[in-house]
């Protein structure tokens, strides 16, 4: 699967998941989001496999990991919620 097809498939899966599991009206967004409301944060292709990290315009702390296993022709979808962020000062 080429990168363009993979990215479009990822965006479709994320938009579908967001539209079927979230109450978007509670965050003052339209009832549904489209693939244009989903963006790629990171993308990698190694041999016949692809992986992408994605997010949406919805400010809910969610991010998504989608992996394509080219050997098995399978797509894996994971949804994560950002629950904690902390900065650490490092010595130089």
User: DSSP character for 37?
Assistant: G
At 90 the pLDDT is 94
Q: Give the rounded percent of residues in the chain with a pLDDT score beyond 70.
A: 90
The H-or-E segment that residue 54 falls in is strand 49-56
What's the whole-model pTM score?
A: 0.84
Segments in the chain below pLDDT 70: 23-31
């Amino acid at each position: 699967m080429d990168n363009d097809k993979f990215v479009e498939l990822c965006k479709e899966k994320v938009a579908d998941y967001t539209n079927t599991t979230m109450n978007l009206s509670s965050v003052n967004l339209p009832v549904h989001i489209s693939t244009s409301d989903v963006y790629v944060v990171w993308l990698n292709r190694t041999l016949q496999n692809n992986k992408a990290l994605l997010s949406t315009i919805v400010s809910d702390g969610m991010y998504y990991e989608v992996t394509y296993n080219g050997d098995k022709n399978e797509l894996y979808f994971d949804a994560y919620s950002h629950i904690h962020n902390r900065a650490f000062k490092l010595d130089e």
